[in-house]
Amino acid sequence: MKQNTFDCVKMKHDIQQRIQREMGGLSTQEKRRRTEEAIVADPLLGRIWRDVRRVRTTNAAPST
């Protein structure tokens, strides 16, 4: 049996630690803004994000 040398739990932990260091002192609003900027800049996630935003805007209930 081939032994797997990739540890996805360690990778997830390392990524979460890096994000915590990068965003540790930011306000909730600033964290959200930076996260949205990163998503929009991603070639795949950005397209999905824009599609969802467009659908939400199009299907928004009219205000009374």
Contact between 34 and 23 under an 8 Å Cβ cutoff? The reply is yes
Q: How confident is the model at residue 63 (pLDDT cuts 50, 70, 90)?
A: low
pTM: 0.61
Residue-level pLDDT at 4: 79
Q: Are 45 and 53 in contact (CB under 8 A)?
A: no
Coil, strand or helix at 43: helix
Q: Which residues, 6 or more positions from 17, have their beta carbon under 8 angstroms from its beta carbon?
A: none
Q: Is the pLDDT of residue 64 over 60?
A: no
Model pLDDT for residues 3-48, shown as the tens digit of each residue: 878 899 999 999 999 999 999 999 999 999 999 999 999 999 999 9
